[in-house]
């Protein structure tokens, strides 16, 4: 992914390379330049047993990440798009080693071949999935678990320890409720080294939403109400761009549903209604050998794949009028899980702003390079820091990230149509699309639309009753339209 912004950041990296010279940090600068050409890095983080691996599998649409506690769950694992199937260990010294792996029904099983988890920086799993085209998904060890080393590894990776910088561009943070430690994580992840820190690169997920209220059929309704309360809370809006309830287990199961599982569910659906209701009262009742004709192991497998809520929901689908096929059950599970909404948010919030988010990450890392260079090359450190700060001050794309957050969080008073305008103007796309015009609109219509919107937002910014943050948002939006006006005023051959 290239573009004017990333080309400018690449030139800034070139300046950094010249100033760093033969210092050991030259390798870090080279890695940052490579990072600009990679897909956006999105980490999935949260406490132990928050459902991180299950959510990753649901997003990819395949059971790749192991969900049971094991050796590989203590290691940061990257899932990237590849032409074939591969697993590679990246050691702490940067060396790489191919790993043997096998595909099981529940996950990829990777053999470490004698490598100690502590010797690995991370594992890279390459997989030919189109869902990994624009995003590299990164599964991280759980926070606040019994394994302090794994938790510390996640914190270092996300740049939350030792004044480090994050190796990711954005994060999906899973939580059961907004505990103090969850708020602390999101606040720490927020990038404060740039002016106007913004949580635009963080999305919170209310995970395991199907377990709300002991897995009743209205569990997801309750979870959506809880998520909505969080979204309306100013304190939460200051920490993440949105909160989405997700039932990761039924999303993963729906995406990977097997016909034999649906056949087992059909057997339960054929039971008399009263008997079926008794069966679904609790996990213990469901597992009682005398409660249904299904073998005990089959029932345990269904609980493992669906959970009690998922079984109740699937049986409701199967007893409906037109939904007795496996594809219908699969669609219903995925549709109810919330994972499609999360996918839309990832496309809109992250993929649609990938260039700005990647540039932001690299600029922050270059600031860290300047800081680390200070002891050995103080003059070079000062020059690099000045170059980075000048870039930061003139990068309007960073201001647009700020605008996006102000509009999305409700920190400024914009109606739904104006928020949609901010969404359209600040994303990537052709000028006509960003101006809200049809693809065949003439250049004169583009210029006139841009001119009108500049005047509108400038006038609103200067109104004496306009609050400071709203005036800031209006100024940023006006500058975005000025950029579009300049782009449309140029000839087609001159546009970038």
Listed residue (260, 234, 254) closest to 408, CA to CA:
234
CA dihedral 370→44→147→157, nearest 10 degrees, is -10
Listed residue (404, 479, 385) closest to 170, CA to CA:
404
Cβ-based burial of 273 (10 A; exposed 0-12, middle 13-18, buried ≥19): exposed
Listed residue (221, 217, 212) closest to 277, CA to CA:
217
**Rounded-to-integer distance, Cα 448 and Cα 100, Å:** 60
pLDDT tens for the chain, 496 residues long, are: 446 899 999 999 999 999 999 999 999 999 999 999 999 999 999 988 889 999 999 999 999 988 765 666 788 999 999 999 999 999 988 899 999 999 888 888 999 888 888 889 999 999 999 999 989 999 998 887 666 788 888 888 888 776 667 889 999 999 988 888 888 888 877 755 554 556 778 899 999 999 887 778 889 999 999 999 988 887 887 788 889 999 999 999 999 999 999 999 999 999 999 999 999 999 999 988 888 788 989 999 999 999 999 999 999 999 876 667 889 999 999 999 999 999 998 888 888 788 999 999 999 999 999 999 999 999 999 999 999 999 988 899 988 988 887 887 777 889 989 989 998 998 877 899 999 999 999 999 999 999 999 999 999 999 998 999 899 999 999 999 999 998 887 655 454 4
């Amino acid at each position: 992914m290239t573009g004017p912004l990333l080309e400018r950041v690449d030139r800034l990296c070139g300046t950094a390379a010249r100033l760093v010279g033969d210092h050991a940090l030259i390798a870090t600068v080279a890695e940052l330049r490579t990072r600009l050409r990679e897909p956006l890095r999105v980490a999935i983080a949260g406490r132990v047993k928050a459902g991180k691996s299950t959510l990753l599998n649901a997003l990819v649409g395949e059971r790749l990440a192991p969900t049971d506690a094991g050796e590989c769950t203590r290691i940061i694992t990257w899932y990237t798009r590849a032409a074939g199937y591969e697993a590679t260990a990246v050691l702490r010294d940067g060396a790489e080693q191919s790993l043997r792996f096998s595909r099981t029904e529940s996950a990829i099983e990777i053999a470490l071949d004698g490598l100690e988890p502590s010797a690995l920086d991370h594992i890279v799993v390459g997989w030919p999935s189109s869902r990994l085209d624009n995003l590299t998904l990164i599964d991280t060890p759980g926070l606040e678990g019994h394994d302090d080393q794994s938790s510390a590894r996640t914190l270092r990776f996300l740049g939350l320890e030792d004044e480090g910088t994050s190796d990711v561009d954005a994060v999906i943070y899973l939580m059961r409720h907004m505990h103090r430690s969850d708020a602390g994580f999101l606040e720490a992840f927020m990038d404060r080294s740039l002016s106007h820190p913004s949580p635009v690169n963080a999305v919170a997920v209310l995970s395991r939403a199907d377990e709300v209220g002991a897995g009743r059929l209205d569990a997801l309704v309750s979870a959506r109400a809880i998520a909505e309360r969080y979204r309306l809370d100013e304190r939460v809006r200051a920490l993440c761009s949105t909160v989405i309830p997700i039932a990761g287990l039924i999303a993963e199961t729906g995406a990977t549903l097997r016909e034999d599982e649906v056949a087992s569910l059909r057997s339960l659906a054929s039971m008399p209604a009263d008997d079926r209701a008794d069966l679904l009262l609790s996990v213990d009742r469901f597992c009682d050998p005398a409660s249904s004709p299904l073998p005990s192991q089959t029932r345990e497998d269904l609980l493992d794949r669906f959970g009690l809520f998922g079984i109740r929901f699937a049986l409701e689908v199967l007893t409906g009028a037109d939904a007795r096929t496996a594809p219908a059950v699969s669609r219903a599970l995925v549709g109810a899980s919330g994972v499609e909404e999360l996918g839309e948010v990832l496309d809109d919030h992250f993929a649609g702003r990938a260039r700005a988010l990647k540039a932001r990450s690299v600029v922050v890392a270059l600031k860290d390079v300047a800081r680390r260079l200070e002891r050995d090359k103080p003059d070079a450190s000062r020059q690099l820091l000045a170059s980075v700060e000048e870039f930061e001050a003139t990068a309007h794309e960073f201001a647009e990230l700020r605008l996006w957050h102000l509009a999305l969080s409700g920190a400024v008073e914009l109606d739904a149509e104006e928020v949609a305008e901010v969404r359209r103007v600040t994303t990537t796309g052709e000028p006509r699309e960003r101006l809200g015009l049809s693809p065949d609109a003439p250049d004169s219509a583009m210029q006139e639309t841009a001119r009108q919107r500049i005047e509108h937002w400038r006038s609103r910014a200067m109104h004496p009753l306009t609050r400071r943050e709203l005036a800031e948002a209006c100024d940023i939006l006006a500058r975005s339209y000025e950029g579009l006006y300049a782009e449309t005023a140029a000839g087609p051959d001159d546009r970038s």
